[in-house]
Amino acid sequence: MKLEKFLNFKNLQTCLKEASLLDYYVSGFLWAKGMDFSVIQYSKFMTLLDMLLHNLRTLHMSLEDSIKWLGEVMAEIGPSHKNEKWNIFDVKQASAIVDYLKISLFQHYKLYEFLFFSAREEIVIGTEQLIEVVNPADHPFPDPLEEGISFDIYSTFIEPPPPLDMEIKGLNQEQGPGESQPEADTSETDLLVGFTIEEIKSVLDQVTDDILISIQTEINEKLQIQEEAFNARIEKLKKA
């Protein structure tokens, strides 16, 4: 932008003060463009904007003093001046300038004072961090960061199992070169060979009866003990 170069602003991206001042001048320039000012009127209006900031920044002029100063300047360059050469703005234009300064500079006068006179802390907009990466190993150590879970769960459910050929090779190494793997006995022996269905059923009935009889005997003994205990309590109550 031409205004950026004219004002010699070089740190707009990081300096809040320069960005605010550029916005102040650009807004005033665009407003004057909408008013269809002449070249002389443009020059006087932009000079007026700059002098108001100069009074604030250099002379520490208060809001009341700035308003008084503006009234004096507008009396010189406005329609009330006796010399027609100084009648740069008519009544409507002078009123519009005062209204614009009210909503742009005077309404935010405290903010501009803060901009010029208050120290601001530097805000860290970037930081540098060093990250150490663990070298790859057979079993991740520390726990795998990309998963965010414990190593036990990772090794059990997530870590891919070793290839089949590696497992066979490991078994061969454990057994040694001279040992041979025993062949699995695939023959199955049927233990019920030689018994008929009636004989098997008879044996099962006998085993079931023995179990039920033992359970029934145990229950009867417990019931008898409980009955004797109740009878003893009843006798005590009668004697009492």
Q: Report the alpha-carbon distance of residue 39 to residue 41 in Å, rounded.
A: 5
Q: Which residues of 69-83 are buried (b: 16+ CB within 10 A; e: fewer)?
A: ebeeebeebbbeeee
Q: Determine the pLDDT at residue 15.
A: 80
Question: Is pLDDT above 90 for 52?
Answer: yes
Longest dimension (CA), the chain: 141
Q: How many CA atoms lie within 13 A of 136 on its CB side?
A: 0
Q: Determine the pLDDT at residue 186.
A: 45
Q: Determine the pLDDT at residue 184.
A: 44
- Read off the pLDDT band of 55 (50, 70, 90): very high
Q: How many CB atoms lie within 10 A of CB 97?
A: 25
Give the CA-trace dihedral at 102, 108, 113, 119, to 10 degrees.
-160
Question: Is pLDDT above 60 for 237?
Answer: yes
Question: Is pLDDT above 50 for 41?
Answer: yes
> What mean pLDDT is predicted for residues 188-212?
76
Question: Is pLDDT above 60 for 142?
Answer: no
Question: Is pLDDT above 80 for 91?
Answer: yes
- Read off the pLDDT band of 170 (50, 70, 90): low
Q: Determine the pLDDT at residue 75.
A: 80
Provide the sign of the torsion angle of the four alpha carbons 88, 89, 90, 91, taken in this order: negative
Q: Determine the pLDDT at residue 13.
A: 78
Residue 43 in tokens:
């020059």
Q: What confidence tens digit (pLDDT) does each residue in 123-141 have?
A: 666 777 877 766 666 655 5
